Structure 1
Amino acid sequence: MNSKKINILEFPSNLGLKKTASETEPGVINLPEWFEKHGLHSKIKPEQIFRLETPAYSMDFDEESGVRNTNKIIEYAKKQSELLSEKLKDDFFQIIIGGDCSILIGNSIALKQKGNYGLFFLDGHTDFITPELSGTAGAAGMDLAIVTGYGHNKLTNIFNLKPYFQEKNVFCVGNREYDEDYVRPILKSEIEYFDLKSLRKNGLRKTAYQFLKLVEEQNLDGFLVHLDVDVLNDNIMPAVDSREIDGLFYNELSELLKPLLASKKAIGIEITILDPNLDEDGKYTIEFVKQFAELLEYGKAST
C-alpha cells in the first residue's frame, strides 16, 4: 500500500453462511467489533471507519438461483458497492472487514464500476463451485465463481456488469481441499490456480511477483486481496467454520503478502470468516491482529 492512508470498512454480513444446529446465526457478524476489541483498529489508526449494517440473518433458500439469502445478498452488495466506490481513491488503502466471503460480491461490483481490476484470492478453499456442487447452498462457498460469472444471473450480473472480474486477472491461492470433483471446475477455468502444495513448490514470494507481473502486463487499474483466514494453518487459526488440516503459517503469509501490500496497485484487502464464537478467549485473534498489523507497517515502509 506504500504510504497510502487507511480506511476501515466494516461489512459484517453473515448471509452467505448456513448456520449450524447450535447457532442462532453465524458469529462472523461480530468480527469488526471483535477485531476492535483486540486492538486492530488502534494499531492501524485509520483515517476513517465506515460501517454498513447487514439485513437480518435468515436461511431463506432461493429456488431460482439455488443460493440461500440471494435477495438479501444482492441488496447488501449494492449498498456495499456504493459505499466502497465513494472511498476508492488513489491515496487510500481500504481494509475491509467481514463477515463471510459473500462480501466479495459487493466489493467486486464497486471495482468493476471503476475500471478493470485483478483479484488475489487467498483462501483455504477455492470457493469456485456452483449451487449444484454446494452442500450448504451458501454464497460464501461460491463467491469466486459468482464474481467471475458462474451461477445464476441474479448474483453474477448485478447492474449488468458480468463478470465482475475476468478469470485471466485472478489468482486463486492456498486451497487445501483436494477432492477431484471440488477442484475440477477451477482447473477448467482461466484462473491461475495454486493449491497449497503447488504454492509451496512454486514459492510464495515468486507467486506474489507473478501476480504483480500479470497486473502490469494487463495494465490493470489495480487489484484487491481477498484473505479468508481459513487459509492459515489449523493449529494457529481454528476459529473458522470449515476447518482443514495444514495451511499457511504466519511467516508464509507474510512472505506472500508483503510484495502485494507494497504495490501501488493494491487498493485494499478484505478479511473474512474469523468467528469470534470459536475464539472465546481471543487467543487466535490477538496473534492474527499482531501479525497483520506488522504486515501493514511493512507496506507503509516500502515506498
Structure 2
Amino acid sequence: MNNNKIHIFEFPSNLGLKKKDIDLEPGVKLLPDWMKINKFHDLISPNRSFTLIPPAYSLDLDQDSGVRNADKIIKYAKDQARLLSDHLDKDCFAIMLGGDCSILIGIALALKEKGDYGLFFLDGHTDYVSPEVSKSKAAAAMELAIITGYGHEKLTNISKLEPYFEQKNVWCVGNREYDSTVVNEILDSEINYIDLKSLRKNGFKSCASQFLKMAKENRLDGFLVHLDVDVLNDDIMPAVDSREKDGLNYSEVNILLSELLSNDKAIGIDITILDPTLDKNGVYTKELVSNLIKVIKKGSSQHRL
C-alpha cells in the first residue's frame, strides 16, 4: 500500500443479511459509526471520508435471482461503484467499512471498471454457494460466488461486467465451515481455496507470499483484501451474525495482513460483519481497532510514494 492518501468509505448496508426473528433488522449497518466511536477514524486520520446510505432494509426475495433484496443490492452496488470510481486512484489506499459482505459487490464493480484486480478473501465462511444451496438466500452468504461469476446473471453481470474478479486471481482463506455441501461448490471453481486447517499447516507468511507471487505473475493492477471479522476466533470476536468455533487469533491474522498491506499492489481493505449491538461495551471492537491500526500503519510506513 501507499500512504499518499487514505480514504475511508462507509457503506452501512445490511441488505445482504437475513434478520433473526427477534430483530427488527441486523445491526451491522452500525459498524462505521461504531468504529468511529472507538477511535478508528481518529487514529487513521484519513484525507477524506465518504458515507453512502443504502436503500431501506427488507427481506424481499427476488424471484428471478433467488436472492433477497437483489434489486436494492444492485442499485446500491452501482452507487458504490460511482463513488469509488470518482475517488480511487493509484495514490489512494481505500478503507471500506460495511455493513455486511454484500458491499463487496459494489467494490468489485468499481475495480473491474478500473482494471484487472485480485482478491484476498479472508473469511470464516466461503460465501461461495448458489441460491439453491443457500439456506438464507442472503447475498452476504454468497457474495464471493456473485463477484466471480457464479450465480444468476442479474447479480453476476451488472453493467455487463461479468466476472468482476477472475476466479484464478482470488484466494479464499480461513474458512472453518467444513460442510461438504458448502465446500464442494468452491472446490469445483478455479478459486485458490485454503481453509483454516490448511492455512495453519502450510504457514501464514507462505500463504501471503504465494498470493503476492500470483499477483505479480498475473500482472494484476492491484489487489483488495476482504476482512470479514468472523474469520477471527469466536472467543475474541463473538459479535458477528454467524458464529463458528475456533478461528484465527490476532497474531495469526496480523501476519497475513502485515505481509499483504506492506505490498505496493494493495489498494484497499474492506471490513465487514461486526455487529455493534452484540458488543455494547466495545470490548471486542477496541481490540479489533488496535490491531487494524497496527497493521495499516505498518503497511503505509513501508511504501511511501
Please report how far the alpha carbon of residue 80 of structure 1 lies from its aligned counterpart in structure 2 after TM superposition.
Answer: 0.2
Q: Which residue of 2 aligns with 1:8?
A: 8
Q: Give the partner amino acid of 1:268.
A: G
Please report how far the alpha carbon of residue 181 of structure 1 lies from its aligned counterpart in structure 2 after TM superposition.
Answer: 1.0
Q: Which residue of 2 aligns with 1:160?
A: 160
Q: Give the partner amino acid of 1:172.
A: C
| CA offsets 1:161-188 (integer angstroms, 9 cap, x no match) | 0000010000000000001111001111
Q: Equivalences for 1:162-241 in 2 at 5 Å?
A: 162-241=162-241
Please report how far the alpha carbon of residue 301 of structure 1 lies from its aligned counterpart in structure 2 after TM superposition.
Answer: 1.9
* In structure 1, distance between residues paired with 2:91 and 2:160: 29
SS of structure 2 residue aligned to 1:183: helix
SS of structure 1 residue aligned to 2:132: helix
Q: Which residue of 2 aligns with 1:275?
A: 275
SS of structure 1 residue aligned to 2:32: helix
Q: Which residue of 1 aligns with 2:33?
A: 33
Q: Give the partner amino acid of 1:133.
A: V
Q: Give the partner amino acid of 1:199.
A: L
SS of structure 2 residue aligned to 1:274: coil
* In structure 1, distance between residues paired with 2:300 and 2:56: 37
SS of structure 2 residue aligned to 1:252: helix
Q: Which residue of 1 aligns with 2:45?
A: 45
Please report how far the alpha carbon of residue 191 of structure 1 lies from its aligned counterpart in structure 2 after TM superposition.
Answer: 0.6
**TM-score, scaled relative to structure 1:** 0.99
Q: Which residue of 2 aligns with 1:289?
A: 289
SS of structure 2 residue aligned to 1:211: helix
SS of structure 2 residue aligned to 1:131: coil
* In structure 1, distance between residues paired with 2:202 and 2:195: 10
SS of structure 1 residue aligned to 2:7: strand
Please report how far the alpha carbon of residue 4 of structure 1 lies from its aligned counterpart in structure 2 after TM superposition.
Answer: 3.4
| CA offsets 1:247-295 (integer angstroms, 9 cap, x no match) | 0000001101111101111110000000001111110001100111011
Unaligned runs of 5+ in 1: none
- The list of structure 1 runs, each at least 4 consecutive aligned residues, that deviate by more than 3 angstroms after superposition, is none
Contact 2:3 2:93 in 1 (8 A): no
Match status 1:125 vs 2:136: no
Please report how far the alpha carbon of residue 110 of structure 1 lies from its aligned counterpart in structure 2 after TM superposition.
Answer: 0.4
Q: Which residue of 1 aligns with 2:66?
A: 66
Please report how far the alpha carbon of residue 3 of structure 1 lies from its aligned counterpart in structure 2 after TM superposition.
Answer: 2.9
Please report how far the alpha carbon of residue 300 of structure 1 lies from its aligned counterpart in structure 2 after TM superposition.
Answer: 1.8
Q: Which residue of 1 aligns with 2:300?
A: 300
| CA offsets 1:86-127 (integer angstroms, 9 cap, x no match) | 111111100000000000000000000001100000000000
Q: Give the partner amino acid of 2:286.
A: I
* In structure 2, distance between residues paired with 1:162 and 1:262: 30
SS of structure 2 residue aligned to 1:49: strand
* In structure 2, distance between residues paired with 1:21 and 1:185: 29
* In structure 2, distance between residues paired with 1:57 and 1:39: 27
SS of structure 1 residue aligned to 2:240: coil
Q: Give the partner amino acid of 2:109.
A: I
Q: Give the partner amino acid of 2:235.
A: N
* In structure 2, distance between residues paired with 1:299 and 1:51: 24
Q: Which residue of 2 aligns with 1:259?
A: 259
Unaligned runs of 5+ in 2: none
SS of structure 1 residue aligned to 2:15: coil
* In structure 1, distance between residues paired with 2:10 and 2:181: 34
Q: Give the partner amino acid of 2:289.
A: V
Contact 2:236 2:249 in 1 (8 A): yes
SS of structure 2 residue aligned to 1:260: helix
Q: Which residue of 1 aligns with 2:89?
A: 89
